[in-house]
Amino acid sequence: MSSTIFLPVLSITLAIIVLCILLCEIKIFYAAQKFSESHSNNGFEISHLCFFIFKRFADIVISLLVCICILPLMYLVLAPMIKLSSKGPVIYKQKRVGLFGKEFVCYKFRSMHLNNDPSMAKIGDKRITSVGRWMRKTHIDEFAQFYNVLKGDMSLIGPRPYQKTELDKYAAFEVYQNRLSVRPGITGLAQINSPRTLTKARVLELDLKYLEKMSLKKDIFIFFETLKFKDLSY
């Protein structure tokens, strides 16, 4: 195909993709607005619409670059280390609760021995492998979730996704359900505040605080704080 045909076709294809993403995010925004209003006194303001759209485009661009340029190399390096440390798959899959309370399959580089205990890891957890301890300290195990971001299950920044059994404990508190009005994130306000030492109620409070002051400036702050943060609790 000559360049005179290829370039216009490429431009039209990209324009259609951008338009589809734009329309999808507008639809999600208004659905999130109604969801938020039904679970709290305040919904999202119309000014948040541009933030929602920009955030999704940023998620797609960054996660696409990571999935193409970084994840394959990480897999080649981590796969032998994970396999040698313990038996089991390289990628661990677990159902988590996402946008509007819908469950999705969340991906992580496996950092634990295979076990039947679905509870979240704790400080000094014996289920964590030696390699897994290092991965968790440096957050490398979370990199597989960039695939979730690309799919639209998650965002780079937002409340962390929990298992349904964890969230059910707070089902009676309508305000906590408000955190489901946005996509869960790989990192968030709770994750840069030593989440392993915080109570679950405090983590949820920080999630709600993020929603109240959600902005591009806040996301940039959380992003750079995440780069500096090293979880020493393992």
The upper half-sphere exposure of residue 166, i.e. CA atoms within 13 Å in the direction of its Cβ, equals 18
- Per-residue 3-state assignment (H helix, E strand, C coil) for 201-231: HHHHHHHHHHHHCCCHHHHHHHHHHHHHCCC
Confirm whether 234 is domain-assigned. no
Paired residues of 117 in beta bridges: none
Paired residues of 96 in beta bridges: 104
How many domains does the structure of the chain reveal?
A: 1
- Residue 201's pLDDT is 77
- Residue 2's pLDDT is 61
- Residue 44's pLDDT is 80
Confirm whether 233 is domain-assigned. no
Q: Output the tens digit of pLDDT for each of the chain's 234 residues.
A: 566 777 888 889 989 999 999 999 999 999 998 888 877 656 788 878 999 999 999 999 999 999 999 999 999 999 999 999 999 999 999 999 999 999 999 999 999 988 777 677 776 778 889 898 899 888 899 999 999 999 999 999 999 898 888 888 776 666 678 888 999 999 998 888 866 667 777 888 888 889 888 899 999 999 998 887 666 555
Confirm whether 25 is domain-assigned. yes
Confirm whether 85 is domain-assigned. yes
- Residue 231's pLDDT is 62
Confirm whether 8 is domain-assigned. yes
Confirm whether 136 is domain-assigned. yes
Confirm whether 48 is domain-assigned. yes
* Domain residue limits at 88: 3-228
Could you write out the DSSP letters of every residue in 100-159? GG-EEEEEEE--B---S--SPP-TT-TTB-HHHHHHHHHTGGGGGGHHHHHHTS-EEESS
- Residue 34's pLDDT is 87
- Residue 41's pLDDT is 57
- Residue 45's pLDDT is 81
Confirm whether 221 is domain-assigned. yes
